[in-house]
Amino acid sequence: MALFNHTADGAMDAAPPTAEQLADERSGERASWWQTGPLVAVLLLFFGLPMLVVLAVSFFDFSRTEIIPAFIFDNYIDLFRSQVTLRLYLSSLKFAAIVWLVTLVLGFNIAYFLVFHVRSLLWQIGLFLVCTVPFLTSNIIRMISWIPFLGRNGIFNQALEGAGITSQPLEFLLFSDFAVIVAYVHLFTLFMVVPIFNSMARIDKSLLEAARDAGAGRFRTVAEIVLPLSKTGIALGSIFVITLVMGDSFVVRTMSGGQSASVVSALQNEVAALQYPPAAASAVIMVIIVTLMVAGILRLVDVRKELAR
């Protein structure tokens, strides 16, 4: 009899929605479409349409003076056959991976300190604003400021020599891959801090207290509670950092002194030489690679589901 009652209750819970409920649902869906419609229109106009033009141009032929409408795969074939292009893609991926890892470690620890070690909300806001102070100046100024600091006769080398740590200036500090990574980390760490901070701020502090009462150490608490509950912020921050690094060329060109290059810098050179079809093909491949990287991150973390909690 109990099983029968339970089944009956389940049937009552699964009763079909009424006409009024269906009408409310349809009205809510229409309202959602009206709200997202302007954004969709803007994306189609300013992103979708230009990408279709770039895709079409990537199949065109070209000469020194003109673009010839055609449908050929030569631009993509030359792209995949070029060892130089392959090294450029590997260089861009290398910078993206290293900068992502460094900014993740820094961003996670900064956010963890602000959320769980700074008790006062006023102090949290104040310290968080301190993190944003560098963004009040131009990215170019913040990047170029590293040149007198890391240069051969810069502040850092003079401090090392004055302290007797080194007998001569360190050459690798400036105009090298190291300088590129330092500049990227300086520019993009905040893009990792903000989303992780927002995710951690939503964690119930009683969970950490319960874990400590159960005998869990700090490392285990972070690994089993804080880290899983912060994965949305980590995913969003990773998307920001990776896409920004992959799409940049100015930092690589300036901070490496021309000794390193990226796909985007090569693309800019092709545009300057009026080689639009090869540049368009390179841009399409870059968009595909970045899209696959973002899709991989979103496959690991269902951001929409996590934000809906």
Alpha-carbon span 297 to 238, nearest angstrom = 8
How large is the C-alpha radius of gyration of the chain?
26
3-state SS assignment for residue 273: coil
Residue 67 pairs with which residues in a beta bridge? 62
Question: CA nearest 237: which of 205, 201, 190?
Answer: 190
Alpha-carbon span 225 to 209, nearest angstrom = 11
Question: CA nearest 55: which of 300, 282, 271, 297?
Answer: 282
Alpha-carbon span 183 to 174, nearest angstrom = 10
pLDDT attached to residue 307: 58
Distances (CA, A) of 6 to 12, 14, 17, 34, 102: 10, 12, 20, 42, 55
3-state SS assignment for residue 14: coil
3-state secondary structure 173-208: HCCCHHHHHHHHHHHHHHHHHHHHHHHHHCCCHHHH
pLDDT attached to residue 125: 83
3-state secondary structure 53-97: HHHHHCCCEECCCCEECCCCCHHHHHHHHCHHHHHHHHHHHHHHH
Residues 6+ apart with CB under 8 A from 246: 92, 93, 96, 263, 264, 286, 289, 290, 293
Alpha-carbon span 108 to 227, nearest angstrom = 9
pLDDT attached to residue 249: 85
How many residues belong to the chain? 309
pLDDT attached to residue 163: 86
Per-residue pLDDT tens digits of the chain, which is 309 residues long: 444 444 444 444 555 667 666 666 666 666 677 777 888 888 889 988 999 999 999 999 988 778 889 899 999 999 989 898 889 999 999 999 999 999 999 999 999 999 888 878 888 888 888 878 777 778 888 888 888 888 888 888 889 888 888 888 888 888 889 999 999 999 999 999 999 999 998 888 888 888 888 888 888 888 889 999 999 999 999 999 999 999 988 888 888 887 778 888 888 888 888 899 999 999 999 999 999 999 999 988 877 665 556
For residue 290 the two structure tokens come to 């970045």
DSSP 136: G
Domains and CATH numbers, the chain: 82-307 (1.10.3720.10)
Neighbours of 298 (CB within 10 A): 14
